[in-house]
Structures are given as C-alpha cells and as structure tokens.
Amino acid sequence: MKTFKSGLALLAGLLLLAGCKKEDAVPNNSKIINWKFLSGGDEYEPGQQIIKSPDGGFMVVSNPGLNVAKTFIYKFTSTGQLAWQRKYDGDGDRAAKDLIALRDGGYIVVGGSSSPINEFKSNMDLWVFKINAEGDVLWEKKYGGLKTEHAVAIVEGNDGGFLVLGNIENTDRDLDPWLLKIDENGNQLWEKSFRNTDYDYATAITKCRDGYFFSTEKENNLLDAARLVKVDNQGNLVYEKIFDGEGRDSFQSLIATDDNGVILAGNISGRGEGASIYGTDNPWLVKLNANGELEWQKIISGIGGFNTIVRTPGGYVIGGAIRSKDTQFNGWIQEIDESGRKQWEIVLGGSKDDAVNSLVVEDSKKITFLGSTSSIDGDIGQAIEGSYALWIMQVQPK
Ligand SMILES: [Ca+2]
Ligand SMILES: [Ca+2]
Ligand SMILES: [Ca+2]
C-alpha cells in the first residue's frame, strides 16, 4: 500500500483542522510540458507504474475501481499518443502493481488477484501474467494459499529470471514480506517469506551487485517504522536496518548506487518545520554505503513525501508530492547529485491535490511521469470527473 499517497486527502483535512502554520512554497524552476494524458471518468484511478517500452514509448499500469479493483494497461507512443488500452478484470479484485519489459517485446505484470469464496470473503493470491507487445495475455499464474498474498514489485534477477516482492499473510493475520524467484515462463524457482510477529508490509525492491535491497513498513505496539532489508542472490538475509521517526515512517522507493550502497526515498514523521501533534510527513532521503552505514540523510522542511527514485547520468531524479501554502499538495520532481544536493526541481499541478507516483527519465532531463490528480486547473487545465484521476505528463526543467 502506498500509504502516503492514499493518505493525502485525509492528511490535508487534518492540517486544515489544526490550523497549522503556513510554510513557504517550494521554489521551483519553470518547466516545459511536452504532452499530457488524463483519465478518470467517474472512478478513482490510482496510477501504479510507468516504464519505457522497447520501441521508445511508455507502458502504464493503473488500478481503477471504487469497490472492485481492475487493472488497466496503457501503451503510449514516445510523443504521448495512446497506442492501446486494455482492461484485465475478473470476478474479484485484479490489481496489478508493477511490470517489467522482456527481451522478446512482451512484459511480465505482477499484483494481486482475488476470487470470491462467499459473500463476505475472498481469497487474494499473488498474480503474475505475461502479455505480448499488444497486450494479449500469453500466460497467467497465481501463487499462494488460502490466506492473502500479493505482489508489489518485480525486478530482473542478478542470475537470470525475475524477483517478485510481495506480502504474505501470517498465522496471526499480519502481512510479512515474501520474495519469489521466477523464470521467464513464470515457473517458481524459489520463495522465501520473512515472517515476524509485526505487521511488516513490503513496499519496494532494487537489485544491487551481490543481491537485493527491499523496504518494508514495520509496525507493532512500540514502533511504526521504515525498514531496509538486504538479501543475497538466494534471498538469505544479509542485514536489516530500522529507521524510526516519531510517527509513521516509510520508504516508497529505493535504488542501488554505484558504490553498492542504496538510496531510500519516502517520508518520515514528526520532524522539521510544520510538524504538529496531528502527525506530518516530511520528505526523506537516506543514503547507506556498501556496509549498510549511514552516509547521509535529508529530511526536507515541508510536508509531503517521495514516492519514486530513478537513476540519471549525473545522479537521481525523485518524484513525490509537496504541500503548498494553501494546504493542498502538488506533484514534485527533483534531481539530486550523488551527495543528495538538489540540482533542480519542478512543482506541478492545480489547486487541488496532485502527486507524482512513478517516472521515467530520458536524455538526462526529460521526465515522463505517472501521478494522481484531483485538480482541474493549473498544469492539469482540463475538467475530468472523479476524485483522483490518472495523470501522465512529460516535462523538462527550463
Ligand atoms: Ca491466497
Ligand atoms: Ca516511527
Ligand atoms: Ca495541487
């Protein structure tokens, strides 16, 4: 669950009630908007992931639906024309969260799929399917048992195949991280669950030279913290680190660095300017070196958070949401260098809540992102029905 994004509206409401202090708007570069695409209709449509397609276009996965989730996949050309759009639904929820391009032109898509058991219960399983370049389903597999299992992300394996990060329900009904290694046909090579007595929700994965890093949100009576886990190529634990701010803290994205360390991006609570007893999230970056030691961290004095981080030739581009003067959120993109120093930033959106969830960088500064918006003005500039619309845009700093 990308908790920061789903909590945006609630958080904005609480801050209004608290009458909390004003902050300076984030100074931002001006930008060039190359193209945009909006979709929402009368349904809430949270965008999950955007990736580059082998032909130079973009693939987007989203989960529209108010009561029952469906999966939509959109294919765009490099200039933002919608090439095709396909729906993948069923009797229960069909919520894809991530996808990866294959060498044969197809894609593996991962998420959760539920089948109704009876009126009150359904059985969610980790769901993996392959589509070709036109979106036709070539095969489909489900992994799991009678409890809840689902996938949140997929990465290429260091030694072939793919690693799927998900969550698996424990005996005490908590969710814990689950790693599944599959081959290109979806056959399971191995699996490893990381069971513990806490609620421990896996959020993101990245591969490094000698294994993988993944992040979780860990919660028990004593803490509500962000956790980093490093595993080797067989999924064995190398180390773990817990990062605990005053309230709920989480990493939504992470990326391995050239020195075999990692940068984590998310939000930490109860720190910095604008913090209140109602709980606030401050955007947060953490850099660890190859030994897992803290090299630097940045807690930004503003309310918001980072949802995604990707590599560029000179550093990293991070995307998320930042609260503006009048309590609503805007989409936010920054480039940082290896030391976390800001190179440029762009703030985007309209007069209601907007957030950047996932992005692709080309030519070092051309950003194609996927986000959510409830605005109909400003950079959105188009009336779309629905509380949260899918928002895709290509921008570059001017
Ligand atoms: Ca299940
Ligand atoms: Ca905490
Ligand atoms: Ca806004």
Quick check: is 368 in a domain? no
The mean per-residue pLDDT over the stretch 69-81 comes to 96
Helix (H, G, I), strand (E, B) or coil at 6: helix
Quick check: is 395 in a domain? no
The answer, yes or no, to whether residue 85 has pLDDT greater than 50, is yes
Which residues have CB under 8 Å from 49's CB, separation 6+? 60, 61, 97, 98, 99, 357, 358, 370
Quick check: is 114 in a domain? yes
The mean per-residue pLDDT over the stretch 51-66 comes to 93
Tens of pLDDT, residue by residue over 183-225, are 999 999 999 999 988 899 999 999 999 999 999 999 988 888 9
Report how far ligand 3's centroid is from the alpha carbon of 304 (Å): 12
CATH code of the domain containing 287? 2.120.10.10
The answer, yes or no, to whether residue 106 has pLDDT greater than 70, is yes
How many structural domains is the chain composed of?
1
Comparing C-alpha atoms, which of 9, 59, 1 is closest to residue 355? Answer: 9
Report how far ligand 3's centroid is from the alpha carbon of 379 (Å): 9
Quick check: is 155 in a domain? yes
Ligand nearest to the CA of 148: 1
Ligand nearest to the CA of 222: 2
| Amino acid making up residue 273 | E
| Amino acid making up residue 53 | S
pLDDT attached to residue 390: 92
pLDDT attached to residue 327: 74
Quick check: is 369 in a domain? no
Report how far ligand 3's centroid is from the alpha carbon of 55 (Å): 33
Tens of pLDDT, residue by residue over 339-378, are 999 999 999 999 889 999 999 999 989 999 999 998 888 9
Tens of pLDDT, residue by residue over 280-289, are 688 999 999 9
CA distance 333 to 120: 42
Query: Cα(first)–Cα(last) distance of the chain, in Å?
Result: 34
CA distance 236 to 21: 47
Ligand nearest to the CA of 9: 3
pLDDT attached to residue 41: 58
Ligand nearest to the CA of 149: 1
pLDDT attached to residue 4: 37
**pTM of the entire predicted model:** 0.90
Report how far ligand 2's centroid is from the alpha carbon of 225 (Å): 4
Quick check: is 281 in a domain? yes
| Amino acid making up residue 95 | A
Parent domain of 153: 53-345
Ligand nearest to the CA of 326: 3
Quick check: is 372 in a domain? no
Ligand nearest to the CA of 124: 1
Ligand nearest to the CA of 284: 2
The answer, yes or no, to whether residue 13 has pLDDT greater than 70, is no
Report how far ligand 3's centroid is from the alpha carbon of 240 (Å): 36
Using a CB cutoff of 8 Å and minimum separation of 24, what contacts does 192-196 make?
Answer: 192/231, 192/235, 192/236, 193/168, 194/229, 194/237, 195/168, 195/170, 196/170
Instruction: Report residue 222 as tokens.
Output: 């004593």
Report how far ligand 2's centroid is from the alpha carbon of 10 (Å): 19
Ligand nearest to the CA of 279: 2
Residue 146, phi then psi, degrees to nearest 5: -80, -10
Q: 150: pLDDT confidence band, cut at 50, 70 and 90? A: very high
pLDDT attached to residue 301: 80
Report how far ligand 1's centroid is from the alpha carbon of 127 (Å): 10
Ligand nearest to the CA of 244: 2
Quick check: is 324 in a domain? yes
Report how far ligand 1's centroid is from the alpha carbon of 371 (Å): 29
